Structure 1
């Protein structure tokens, strides 16, 4: 019989409470602590032995794992404290608020060997996993063009509840885009160059409400992406994937489209277009819809974290992956400010996918582009 693992959830806000409820729902996990100096005990999910404490240091000596769901600026402090205590930690996305803080976390994790996972939960979605598998199989050939969107309308009270969201750093580039950047990296490999333009015409706040970007991938593909939290549209992962019942859904819409040399794939509907004969716009193509189970990726992420805690698997989204997605988002923000293209450095392996491996084989180019 596997022993029950004791978990501390740090931060009792919206996402922290979601994590806490999921810990309570797993039979071999115990929600031992909820850490939040400002939490109302009446609002905190708790089991019979859960203790509410004000400081993570009060919990670290008595837990097997930490789920860090504090505001972004507090991720560095919490993650470094857990690593120093030898306790594996799942850090909510983004890994940190600055690149310097993220690099500190990466260094601490890799030096100590203590597992640090980043909560890019879409990586656990069966829909995204199936799309990655299809593209990696070569079914659409080599990816050449990518289109994506994160279009949704945030209500006014979203900003009234947290006025910091109306200031620099509170717009959809830094709050929402990191999810999509991480998903596109999983689908098509590393993003090595970005250019962006942002505007605030819809709300006239000090922060952007809409941004449009161009993306260059290491495997040669090019992409476009548009994000807006003022758009009355459903072309976002949240509303097309139907994985979160808290959002209105549009099951016939897609938010990503990847076109390759032999076909294309729309995500998350998983509509796959291929050519049985010659690939040409004048030849007949075949469209099929690939099936994939619909499961809550936050549940699957916590299940994976439990396996990591038991030493049964390595982290799927390790700290360095979280750093790389943050680098891309910061490059987008920099480009939007300056109007100039920005290269994205990376220290991850070049051949991250079967598609990238085929690109190397076809072109003979084996140097992972860092500064194109």
Structure 2
């Protein structure tokens, strides 16, 4: 099988991860890096590929089979639209665009062209989520009632020094981190139709928030709470509990989600389950049966790349489409509005 030619735009933190995965793949090969920074020149030399300062320069010379856009949020809409107009399949890192208006414009244009675009919510490829969804949809779990989630961790100073845009509007943890959690929760529990939230920036004192607490109303009637912070010394985040990304310190006894149903509950990702065994009346005075659901862990970013290759070859449909990415963004937009207004905000739904 001839290897697909993939380019990467953006040589930052996530871009470097994509470069490594492409280099290790049996299905594709790295053919170019697009980034005007001096650091990108070093990476291009390391991977022995040409370096371009812009997508226009890349497309003028040769179109790759696909491109991964791992650039700052503010560039997503413009660069994704370039890929749509040039007919080049792409992975657009989340958020799909920085603004709702840009998201709808991209969605409309991509639909018109039948474009092959994925949004980089890579956790959608996680075996943990797939296994958890099977449990939540089982009779042993019952109807979803409540969800408790957390993404509380500490980002080091150099994270902001290397990317000052992360301290400014559009670069806070709600957009960078929470949008992943929204994708997870929508996959597990269905659409989120309303939110409430409050935020603080008292610790980092950046323009953007460093801590947010929120509540969510799901279309099913289930309710959820979530705590987000990038300035908390804690290990209760997906990265630090899932064991999927070895670059993070991990704590196998910690969970980042607890989902409760009418018959049972599941803690994720330890996959510890408590449930009513059905032999007697349900009651908090009665002991629950215990179980640990088995699963196999794999790198979801590698699985996403495999899916992208299949999409390029016409063997698959987008698992996380622009529509999915836009709906995640609409929930995030509602969280931001709720945090600023201190009101309950209904979530707009993509038609």
Q: Please give the TM-score of this superposition, normalised by the length of structure 1.
A: 0.89
Pick which of 201-210 and 83-92 moved more: 201-210
The 1:132–1:39 alpha-carbon spacing in structure 2 relative to 1, beyond 3 Å, is: farther
Contact kept in structure 2, 1:21 and 1:45, CA below 8 Å:
no
1:295 aligns with 2:294: no
Please give the per-residue CA displacement for 1:315-350, whole angstroms capped at 9, x wherever unaligned.
1001100000011111111111111111101136xx
The 1:156–1:16 alpha-carbon spacing in structure 2 relative to 1, beyond 3 Å, is: closer
1:35 aligns with 2:34: yes
Secondary structure of the residue that 2:154 maps to in structure 1? coil
Alignment correspondent of 1:58: 57
Contact kept in structure 1, 2:73 and 2:170, CA below 8 Å:
no
Q: RMSD across aligned C-alpha pairs, in angstroms?
A: 1.6
Instruction: Please show how residues 1-372 of structure 1 align to structure 2 within 5 Å.
Output: 2-40=1-39, 41-44=41-44, 47-48=47-48, 50-60=49-59, 61-277=62-278, 278-347=281-350
Pick which of 3-12 and 181-190 moved more: 3-12
The 1:34–1:248 alpha-carbon spacing in structure 2 relative to 1, beyond 3 Å, is: same
Secondary structure of the residue that 2:148 maps to in structure 1? strand
The 1:34–1:161 alpha-carbon spacing in structure 2 relative to 1, beyond 3 Å, is: closer
Q: CA deviation at 1:154?
A: 1.6
Alignment correspondent of 1:362: none
CA distance, structure 1, for counterparts of residue 38 and residue 14 of structure 2: 13
Q: CA deviation at 1:38?
A: 2.0
Q: CA deviation at 1:160?
A: 3.1
Secondary structure of the residue that 1:151 maps to in structure 2? strand
Q: CA deviation at 1:106?
A: 1.1
CA distance, structure 2, for counterparts of residue 274 and residue 25 of structure 1: 42
Q: Please give the TM-score of this superposition, normalised by the length of structure 2.
A: 0.94
Please give the per-residue CA displacement for 1:203-237, whole angstroms capped at 9, x wherever unaligned.
33333211110100001100111101111111110
Q: CA deviation at 1:46?
A: 5.4
Query: How many residue pairs were aligned?
Result: 346
CA distance, structure 2, for counterparts of residue 46 and residue 185 of structure 1: 39
Secondary structure of the residue that 1:178 maps to in structure 2? helix
Alignment correspondent of 1:365: none
Q: CA deviation at 1:262?
A: 0.7
Q: CA deviation at 1:45?
A: 7.0
Structure 1: tracts of 5 or more residues without a match = 349-372
Pick which of 142-151 and 270-279 moved more: 270-279
Structure 2: tracts of 5 or more residues without a match = none
Contact kept in structure 2, 1:31 and 1:46, CA below 8 Å:
no
Contact kept in structure 2, 1:194 and 1:213, CA below 8 Å:
yes
CA distance, structure 2, for counterparts of residue 168 and residue 77 of structure 1: 18
Q: CA deviation at 1:28?
A: 2.6
CA distance, structure 1, for counterparts of residue 148 and residue 111 of structure 2: 34
Secondary structure of the residue that 2:336 maps to in structure 1? helix
